[in-house]
Each structure stands twice: as structure tokens, then as C-alpha cells.
Structure 1
């Protein structure tokens, strides 16, 4: 078991270093890449700038000194990242780390809320479909799950934005919260805190609904398949013969065992949706990490783009790592197998 944990931790560290190395070489070695593009922009806007000053500006924004050897640049780049220094944004005011720190909680809020709600809807619908296998409800719900799961979330976002954002203006069409709302989280001022939280949830409603519409179907189908498989197990027949209450059988034996295999996919989905929020945040002009990723791409803000890419990929790797390690804790059978196989 200890060997399994060590191997997974080593894989995580190796993955993070690979991502850090990828961002470095994208910045430093690609012909016409960020370093050359930034140098050209600075030269065009400041023709009288000296070469030394030009190099210092490039280093401040990209965390690399163009004239130093590659291995020295790499060591400096990695050491700066460990200190939380991702360089300065070209298009936004402030450092990349400050922008990401301000945007990440909003992306996590939208993605986390959507995943949690979609997961609860999915497992509930999946369990009902399994218990009514072969019925009209099962057939209709299965078709609905497949259809909703097949449409990208940004398509739902565009439709919702057009209907309840512009045609019937029930929801705001952009922003994190209203301009007249003061962002306040203070236990001493519960009224102002509630007003801010409610307004933030109101602005996040359409992005959250868009993600829920595409996410619930996959979990419903997964829960249905797992439940049907478990319903045919011999130990459930024994439980029924022993006269155990149906509620206890449904919750303790079927529900718990059917949900366990979906735990890993939920954590991984959270990680991937942080990256998948790029388009949905752009559709709703919601300033999260995905929104700034597109802004960096449109404005050729390479430090910002690379910093968000690094954070998103690292988050996915950590989500997979947590799923690997904790699944064995909630399902001892998988933990033993995972440990022995490692």
C-alpha cells in the first residue's frame, strides 16, 4: 500500500514538472513564439529602448532572460514558479499570479456548484431508471440523458443567454455580480453578506445551468448501469430473503455500491471542467480563469495564457491524484487491489 502511494505521488510530481517544462519551452524555443513576439511589441512601442532594458522587460513578463543559456533560464523559471512568480500580464494590470488568484475562486464556484448539483441529479435519476428498468420512464430518461449529454455546454449557454438573457431578460448577461453590490463576506454584517452571495449566485445561474444540462446525463447513465448490475448480485437476493427493508437495501447495498465507481469520475470531471469552462465563461462574459485565458489568447498575452494553462493542467493532475488515493479509503476492496497491483 505504501508503495502504491509513493508511486502515485512520484507520478504527480513528474507530471507537474513535465507541464512546467512544457510551458518553459513553449515560451523560449518556439520560432516566433512569446519571447520573440513580446520583444517585437516592446521594440515597436519603444524604438529607443536599449537591448539590456528590452531583455529586462522580457524577463519581468515571461520569467526568462533571453541572452542567458537555456539551462540557466530553465532553473530560474522553475525557481520563480515555486515562489509563485509567473511574470507580469501584458494586457491586464497586475501580475499573472494576482489575476489567477482573483479569477480562480469564481471558476471554482461555478464549476463546483454545477458538478455537485449535476451529480446529485444524475445519481438520483440513474437509480430511479434502474429500479424501473424497461419502463417508459426508463426509456424516456435514457434517451433524454443521451441527448443532453451529447450537446456542448456552450450551446446550452448561447440558447439560455438568448432566451432568458435578451428575449425575456430574467437573468444578467455577464459579470460576476452587479455593479451596485458591494462584495462582502463578513459574519458581522450578515445582511450585506447574504445580498452579495445571492447576487453572485444570480449572476452565475446561467453558466451553472449550462454545465448541469450537459453533465447530469452521463452520471445518470453510469448510475443506471451500476445499479442494474448490483441489483442482479446474489447477496441482494439473500438480503431480500432475509426480509431486510427495501429502503435499507436501496440505500445501503445498491446506492452506496453503485455510487463508489463514480467517485473517481466526479473528481476528474471537476479538474477537466476547470479547463472546459473557457468557452462558457467567454459566452457569459464571466471573468474566471477561462475568460482570462481567451483574453490572453486574443491579446497575445503569453504570460497570462501560460500561467492559466499551467494552473489548469496542474489542477487536473492533482484531481486524478486525489481520486487515486482516496478511492481506496472509501472502498477498501479497491484499496487492497490498488496497493497489491502497485
Structure 2
């Protein structure tokens, strides 16, 4: 129990510390968001021949960003974090004129939808192809798949996304050219809307699939080759077990364990890659909103997106750390290791 408590505490400290460092840079960088907003307001007042009120400027900046520029950084950070935890208040988006929390939840389900399916398909293909290559080690099948995977791995996901969009959407018209769902479809559990959502998500998910698939197939092959030489696998062959049973129950199950942590961390990497993918396909998820916020200097929305991506990363690593002992009982937990 103490092990799990320590891990939760470390995750919380890491998350809060990361937010504090970002918040401090948010405040201290010359020409940062607070100063930029106040400078824009001063320029507007000068053009309108209005009297400049510093207190009014500070209140305006605090209302938009959720940050009081007149208070010390630790106190201002505490108030900002308190508003997030108690009131889900990240401030107000400068570009969209809506609460940032509402904008995040507007795009979050769509980003999760893309990332989860892209990662699951990619991870499944990684396991299947890696094990298949190892089982046929040294053959032409192994050589051909190795070349194919290396070529796929060398292609950046955004290049693949642009090519697929150009060919499959614009030239051949197989998939929609952008968006999350058909504009004319009524949102809800109806066939028109659900099929439209699947069609619009197909190319972004395929882009994420390429990232997840090409990244780990070679590693899975190497791990599987090591397992093939184990004594228990030879014993399984001598016992006359079928090839499918050996591949699924012995080879795959034991080869997958070392890449489990990488799979969990891949969740955070997949969300990060969605920033470009969603922009290419005009898919309005968290990544699309974040890039628009960066382009338009919408600092409150940028900070909220950073908190979202940081939280996903910390939670994924924490889940991997807490559940690895369940996936591989031989590993145990920190409570059973001599190093703790």
C-alpha cells in the first residue's frame, strides 16, 4: 500500500511542479501574455484618447488569463490552481470569447476518440507483425517485412497525413476532406451521424496508426526472437502444441511485457501528434484548438491545453507503473523489490 501511495504522491508532485514551471515562465518571459494583453489595451486606450487606469488593466488581464499580474508568482499560481480545481476556471479564451474549460471539453472527446483507436490499431499491428517476423526469422518474409517497416518508420506522420488527404480525399473522393462529422447530420445515436463520424475520423486514425505501427514492430521482433530461444518454448513444441497456441499463449504474451510501458507512454505521444494531425484534417479536437490558440496568442487556452497534455502523460506513466506487476507477476511491485 505504501508503494502505491508513494507513486500517487510522486505523480501529483511531478504534475504540479511542471505546471508551476510553465506558469512561472508564463509570467516572467518578456512580452509574455499578461504584458501583451495589457500593452494591447494601453494602445487601444491611447487611440481612443482614454485615460489609462493601471488597476483596470490588471483586472482585465486577470479576468482573461486567470492571473493577477500584481501578486507574487507563488501566490498567483496558488490562486490560479485553486480556481482550476474548485471552479474548473482556466480563464476566458481571448479568441473564442468562451470559458477555456468549455472549449477544452468541446474538443476533448474527439481527440480521445482519434488517439485511442489509432493507438490500439497501431499497437495490435505492432504485436502481430513483430511476432510474425520473429517466427519467420531469416526468411524472405522476415526480410521483406523488415524493409517495409523501416520504410514506414522513416515517413513522418504528417507527411503521410498530407499524402492520404490529397489522394484519398481530394483526388479519389473516398473520404471527406475535413471536419468531424457531416454538417447536415443530426448529432446523436443515429446511423447517418455515426457513419459520418467514422468516415471523417478514418484518415486521422490511419495517420496515428502509422505512427503506432511503425514505431515498435522492429522492437517487438527483437523481443520475440529472444523468447523463441527460451526453454519453455522448446518444451511447448515438444509437447505437440499447435503453432497458433504457441504464438498466442507463449510467444506473444511474454514478448509484449517489455513494451507495455512504451505503449502507455505512447498514449501521451499520440495526443501530442494530434496537434498537427487535427490541423491537417481540420478536425476540431484539443490539438486543433491549441494550434489556433498559439497562432492567435490565446494564452489562457494554450495553458489549459498544456495542462491537459501534461495530465495525460503523468496519468499514463502512473498507470503503467501501477499495473505492470499485474501484467507480469514476475516483476512484482516496489513493495516486493529489494531496492526499495
Q: Distance in 2 between matches of 1:112 and 1:152?
A: 20
1:317 to 314, 319, 339: 314
1:174 to 174, 178, 190: 178
State the Cα distance separating 1:284 from its structure 2 match.
1.1
1:278 to 275, 278, 299: 275
2:249 to 252, 259, 275: 252
2:89 to 82, 85, 88: 85
Q: Distance in 1 between matches of 2:269 and 2:296?
A: 24
In the other structure, the counterpart of 2:142 is 138
State the Cα distance separating 1:338 from its structure 2 match.
7.2
1:222 maps onto 2:219 in alignment: yes
State the Cα distance separating 1:36 from its structure 2 match.
0.3
C-alpha offsets along residues 270-328 of structure 1, whole Å, 9 cap, x if unaligned? Answer: 11211121111111111111111110111000000111011101211110110111111
Inter-CA distance 23–85: structure 2 relative to 1 (3 Å threshold): farther
1:150 maps onto 2:154 in alignment: yes
In the other structure, the counterpart of 2:259 is 262
1:125 maps onto 2:124 in alignment: no
C-alpha offsets along residues 1-43 of structure 1, whole Å, 9 cap, x if unaligned? Answer: x343233222201111112202321222221101101112223
State the Cα distance separating 1:237 from its structure 2 match.
1.5
Q: What stretches of structure 1 of length at least 5 have no aligned partner?
A: 186-191
TM-score, normalising length from structure 2? Answer: 0.93
- What is the count of residue pairs matched by the alignment? 334
Q: Distance in 1 between matches of 2:9 and 2:220?
A: 32
C-alpha offsets along residues 47-85 of structure 1, whole Å, 9 cap, x if unaligned? Answer: 536333322221112111122233321221121121221
C-alpha offsets along residues 142-167 of structure 1, whole Å, 9 cap, x if unaligned? Answer: 11111111221100011111112222
Residue 151 of structure 1 contacts residue 214 of structure 1 at CA under 8 Å; is this kept in 2? no
2:105 to 101, 107, 110: 101
Inter-CA distance 32–339: structure 2 relative to 1 (3 Å threshold): farther
In the other structure, the counterpart of 1:36 is 35
Q: What stretches of structure 2 of length at least 5 have no aligned partner?
A: none
Residue 3 of structure 2 contacts residue 334 of structure 2 at CA under 8 Å; is this kept in 1? no
TM-score, normalising length from structure 1? Answer: 0.93
State the Cα distance separating 1:196 from its structure 2 match.
1.5
Residue 115 of structure 1 contacts residue 212 of structure 1 at CA under 8 Å; is this kept in 2? yes
